Structure 1
Amino acid sequence: MTHNTTPRTTTNPQPAPNQPAAGPAPRPPHVLSIAGSDPSGGAGIQADIKSISAHGGYAMAAITALTAQNTQGVQGVHVPAADFLRQQLDSLSADITIDAVKIGMLANAEVMDTVGEWLAETRPPVVVLDPVMVATSGDALVDGDARKSLLRLLHQAHLATPNLAELAVLCGEPEAASWDAALQQGKALAAVHGTAVLVKGGHLEGDQCPDALVGPDGSVEIFAGPRVDTDNTHGTGCSLSAALATLQVQTGSWAESMRRAKDWLTGCLQASGVLDIGHGHGPLNHFHELWALQAPAAGEFTRSLWAQIAPEREAIFALDFIRELASGGLDERHFAYYLAQDAQYLNAYSRVLSRASALAPTEDEQRFWAAGAQNCLVVELALHREWLSRHPVEVARGPVTKHYVDHLSAVAFSGSYAELAAAVLPCYWLYAEVGRVLHAGYLRDRTLADDAGTGAGAHPYGEWLETYADEAFAEATARAVAIVDAAAVRGSALERERMREAFVHSARYEVDFFDAPRRHA
């Protein structure tokens, strides 16, 4: 059975809907996090500050422990003296009005008792206790003698938010294997200690991820929700409890605070992949709602790039070199010059792609760029050399080739991975577009010639134009576009502008490269 009442509700009167509040806008909630530090930024104090800030609160912190940890585990814990923690707490409460307190990692009984004594003296209006005992990685974060002190601390809290493992430790029972069993443990804990308990179903199996607010009177309010398929769960409990403390000051209702916090947390998990932090359990995307206003939607950035180089695309198809290549009237000297320059370009370009492979954040992207570099050296250069062997020409590196290669090399060794991916993209995208148009025109002309009986295969560059129909290159181009788009979504506004600049410069060099044979041959 579910009920709509929750215990120990802290009230904070709000203006009626659609009715403006009198006087100046209310100040943000002052929320203190008492917890350990996570240098990777995903959990502990760092996660709490992000969570409080994401919900409009002013975040403060009293640090209980220093950890050496990352997304893969906890390598060390250092606990400062408890009297120094008390000094931090007294310093804050002597000067600042504290609207809510979120309590996280307390490493030992002495630290827990110190926090409990301070709470008894200051009586903050909202206290949320997240009894952090075990990290997402499975590492224990408190010593084994602290359970009794933690249970005493529960009496000072308005809401406790243990995960299933922590709930079992507090109840002195095995970890619940079902949702019903977890609810029974939550009810028992709430009744004995007189505090509300948030029972969390995140560690259970199944497609659903239910949570429930349980009161000391046995009341239960369930909050259903889908399970988000992600490994980026580092700091989930820290973030949720800090959000609840902040929201409770604003709503005065644990149920409403939980609804808002759960919706927000779901979005944090869904948007966590773009952060690409670490190799274990990555963090949440606490500011996904804010960053969504700044980051482009999927496909938006590369569409804007393609639109921006419309003049360059038009210029390429207006070049005499392209028109004569398509018609077959291109002077053989000009084609030989183009191939000789392209061979030199590809040799340098393969090194640039190798650099992209070295900088790539994932193994999949590393393999993609490495395969592109190999293709330049093995496949494409072989085609150039085969044709040039039949039409030998001695040509030094031309000015356009030099400038284009210098541009790519500069980005490769001074820019970011995202900038480099954007810089090499025109060589994929424009070449694929030119190939698509020229090959389609070649097939059309050959069909017309066959129908007219004038003979097919008379095109002097037909063999070359046939290579433009390479489906593998079209697929590689689509993959390169997707990589650049994903990098733009991950990047900052400044990095996107640098990506755009690198892309446009390369596109202009592509125009010059196709025009060079008629100018310099």
Structure 2
Amino acid sequence: MSIRTLVDTVEHTEALSVPARARTIPHVLSIAGTDPTGGAGLQADLKSIGAQGGYGMAVVTSLVAQNTRGVRSVHTPPSTFLDEQLQAVSDDVTIDAVKIGMLGDAETIRTVRRWLPRSTGAVIVLDPVMVATSGDRLLASDAEDELRALVPLADLVTPNLPELAVLLGEPVATGWEAAVEQGKRLAASTGTSVLVKGGHLEGALECPDALVDASGDAGTVSVVGGTRIDTRNTHGTGCSLSAALATVQTRTGNWHQSLLIVKKWLRGALERADELNVGQGNGPIHHFHEFVPGPIPAPPPEERPFSEQVWELTTSHRLAIETLGFVRALGDGSLPPEQFAYYLAQDAMYLRGYSRVLSRASALAPSEAEQLFWAKSALSCLEVESELHRTWLTGRGQSPAQGRVTRAYVDHLLAASANAGYAVLVAAVLPCYWLYAHVGNALHSQWIGNGAGTDHPYANWLETYADPAFAEATARAISIADSCFAAAPPADREAMIEAFEASAWYEHEFFDAPTRLDLRDSAKLP
């Protein structure tokens, strides 16, 4: 035999020779056991097939309870069921390649061997699962004999070094040259190409693979070099390699070419295996390391949630409210009492009208849950208004008249209540929840929540902003608005946004009114 050393890069390969049966997306069948953690067996095969552009199919030979730390138990279904699976696939699908992995017992192997003629023309790769990395035998002696009889039916067999020794009935090779010689003997005795894998060489920094091609009279050996990757996450490497080779071979028709392509892919999968962080033992390789997901596209503006759109649209209002003299003075406690009293009086008058609007929302709501939510909110407004008069406004002299902003804001909400549908009305009432909560939370966290507001003249008032019940009601109102927007036709969606923006403007004006006692020209109100 001649030995030909090939460079471990695809760029130095000769032109691909594509087999006549090759299709754009090859159909590749894995016959193997399972791995619930997805690192080996059928699950690894399917990932490898997909990573090489194939369409993966799977027939289960054994159900394995295992994880990255080891195997716990194995259940082998009846061979009659295995045969039914195989027949079901081959009766319907043209199979371009077959990867055979764990077969479990002698009857399972015989069932697969009887079926193989049904896959005429397909590439057959046998990964003989016989000896674990620990050296433990995984098959009984009679099953090992059956597996040896299966080797000549494969186009390529991919044993690890202990399995190569078992197939030949020889001691395990202790060096690379001895392992290659064993590969030559197996290829010569079976007429099947053999991949000799150097991954189990003890203490070696290099990790070569040798392909003994049995297709010629004398056969050739192609050695593909490689360095060992410093990672413990190598679980399923053999399964993945053989499944990938079966897939690529359908395109190249040349085992040397296929090995170069797959070895390069496998090296990357090992180099990036640690990124997966799967399990506490020997984790899997990164089968899809070459796949770079594109950025998640932003949904069209009309498909974004209502709350996201209007929050963005009203940024200027929120910033303006936060810098108002009234809001800043309320926060630091320097607000003159007469301005605070004016704000409270206007708030009480506003809440009376607002409760009527919320009652209307309750009447229009499509579900009992939403009806109850708005009804309770309306009742809460009346309770708050009563509390204002009882604790803050009583004894402070004659209440001021309803201000222009208060009147205009309430009229805007009443108009929405009378003329608009449920969705638009919900959008109109939402800023009173949301912007009020936003400003209040900012003031509370800055001046009260950190303990600095012990002597704050408006501490009791600012504490109301931290009420968990109000925060929950605000979140519920936002959720209802988003649901209404998602179900609304385009015209109603536009009307919802306009109603919210108008109410946000009024919220801004309402916070600003006390510092000028609502003397702004009413012509500027919308």
Q: TM tier, shorter chain?
A: 0.5 to 0.7
Aligned ranges for residues 63-462 of structure 1 at < 5 Å? 63-120=60-117, 122-134=119-131, 141-204=138-201, 205-216=203-214, 217=218, 219-293=220-294, 341=445, 397=463, 399=465
Aligned counterpart, 1:472: none
Between the aligned partners of 2:179 and 2:448, the Cα distance in structure 1 is 68
CA distance in 2, matches of 1:172, 1:393: 91
Asked whether the equivalents of residues 135 and 162 of structure 2 are also in contact (C-alpha less than 8 Å), the reply is: no
Deviations 1:229-268 (A, max 9, x none): 2222221111111111111011111111111111111222
Taking the aligned partners of 1:285 and 1:27, their CA distance within structure 2 comes to 24
In the alignment, residue 4 of structure 2 is paired with which amino acid? T
- Tell me how far 1:107 sits from its aligned partner: 0.6
Q: Deviations over 1:200-233 (max 9, x none)?
A: 1222334432211113435211112232222222
Against the structure 1 CA distance between its residues 237 and 38, is the aligned structure 2 distance closer, same or farther, given a 3 Å change threshold?
A: same
| CA displacement at 1:50 relative to structure 2 | 1.6
Contact 2:61 2:82 in 1 (8 A): yes
SS of residue matched to 2:60: strand
2:445 maps to amino acid: Q
Deviations 1:373-418 (A, max 9, x none): xxxxxxxxxxx77x889999967646379699979x99xxxxxxxx
1:46-68 deviations in Å (ceiling 9; x for gaps): 11112112222222222111111
| Residues 341 and 139 of structure 1: CA distance in aligned 2, closer, same or farther (over 3 Å) | farther
- Name the CA distance, whole Å, in 2 between partners of 1:117 and 1:290: 38
User: Offset at 1:342?
Assistant: 6.2
**Percent identity, aligned pairs only?**
49
How far the C-alpha of 1:165 sits from its partner, in A, is 2.4
Tell me which amino acid in the other structure corresponds to 1:215.
D
Contact 2:61–2:76 (CA under 8 A) maintained in structure 1: yes
1:328-359 CA-to-partner distances (Å, cap 9, x unmatched) read: xx97989xx999836986xxxxxxxxxxxxxx
Offset of 1:132 from its aligned partner?
Answer: 1.4
Which letter maps to 1:222? V
In our comparison, the structure showing a higher alpha carbon Rg is 2
Query: Distance in 1 between the 2:241 and 2:101 partners?
Result: 11
What TM-score do you get using the length of structure 1 for normalisation?
0.55
Secondary structure (helix, strand or coil) at the match of 1:226 reads: coil
Contact 2:130 2:144 in 1 (8 A): no
Measured in 1, the distance between the counterparts of 2:283 and 2:103 equals 23
What amino acid sits opposite 1:92 in the alignment?
Answer: V
Q: Quick one: which amino acid aligns to residue 214 of structure 1?
A: V
Aligned partners of 2:189, 2:287: CA distance in 1, in Å? 34
C-alpha distance after superposition, 1:452-496 (max 9, x if no partner): xxxxxxxxxxxxxxxxxxxxxxxxxxxxxxxxxxxxxxxxxxxxx
* Whole-angstrom CA distance in 2 between matches of 1:87 and 1:14: 26
Deviation at 1:117, TM superposition (A): 2.3
TM-score of the pair, normalised by structure 2 = 0.55
The CA deviation at 1:186 is 1.7
Structure 2, unmatched stretches of 5+, are 7-15, 298-311, 325-330, 336-440, 477-511, 513-526
Which amino acid letter does the alignment assign opposite residue 19 of structure 2? N
1:184 is paired with a residue whose SS is helix
In structure 2, do the counterparts of structure 1 residues 293 and 340 end up closer, same or farther at CA, with 3 Å as the change threshold?
Answer: closer
Aligned 8 A contact 2:332 2:447 in 1: no
Kindly indicate whether the alpha-carbon contact (under 8 Å) linking 2:25 and 2:55 is maintained by their aligned counterparts in 1: yes
Instruction: Give, in whole Å, the separation in 2 of the partners of 1:140 and 1:389.
Output: 75
Mapped to 1, the partners of 2:135 and 2:456 lie a distance apart of 67
Residues 403 and 64 (structure 1), Cα distance of their counterparts in 2 relative to 1, 3 Å cut = same
CA contact (8 A) 2:231 2:271 kept: yes
Unaligned runs of 5+ in 1: 16-25, 297-308, 322-329, 346-383, 411-517
Structure 1 residues 191 and 166, CA, compared in 2 at 3 Å: closer, same or farther?
same
CA drift of 1:130 comes to 0.3
State the 1:289 CA deviation. Answer: 2.3
Q: 1:266 to 1:344 in 2, by over 3 A?
A: farther
Give the whole-Å Cα distance in 2 for the aligned partners of 1:405 and 1:133: 63
- Whichever residue aligns with residue 249 of structure 2, its letter is Q
Whether the 8 Å contact between 2:48 and 2:287 is mirrored in structure 1 is yes
Shift of 1:78: 1.0
Q: Secondary structure at the match of 1:67?
A: strand
Q: CA 1:207/1:111 → structure 2, altered by over 3 Å: closer, same or farther?
A: same
CA contact (8 A) 2:448 2:454 kept: no
In 1, the alpha carbon distance for the partners of 2:88 and 2:192 equals 28
Query: Which secondary structure state, in structure 2, belongs to the residue aligned with residue 257 of structure 1?
Result: helix
Distance 1:219 1:319, change over 3 A: same
Distance, in Å, in 2 between the alignment partners of 1:147 and 1:55 is 31
- The alpha-carbon deviation at position 288 of structure 1 amounts to 2.5
Determine the structure 2 residue equivalent to 1:38: 35
Cα distance, 1:279–1:139 mapped onto 2, change above 3 Å: farther
Partner residue in 2 for 1:2: 4
Between the aligned partners of 2:447 and 2:36, the Cα distance in structure 1 is 48
Quick one: which amino acid aligns to residue 151 of structure 1? R
Is the CA contact 1:10–1:248 (under 8 Å) kept in the aligned structure 2? no
Q: 2:128 aligns to what SS in structure 1?
A: coil
State the distance in 2 between where 1:136 and 1:208 align: 18
The whole-number CA distance in structure 2 between the counterparts of 1:292 and 1:175 is 43
Higher mean C-alpha displacement, 95-104 vs 249-258: 95-104
For the residue of structure 2 that corresponds to 1:199, the secondary structure is strand
What secondary structure, in the 3-state scheme, does the structure 2 residue paired with 1:278 have? coil
Aligned residue for 1:327? none
Partner residue, 1:419: none
Can you list the C-alpha shifts for 1:99-124, whole angstroms capped at 9, x where unaligned?
A: 11110001112211222222246434
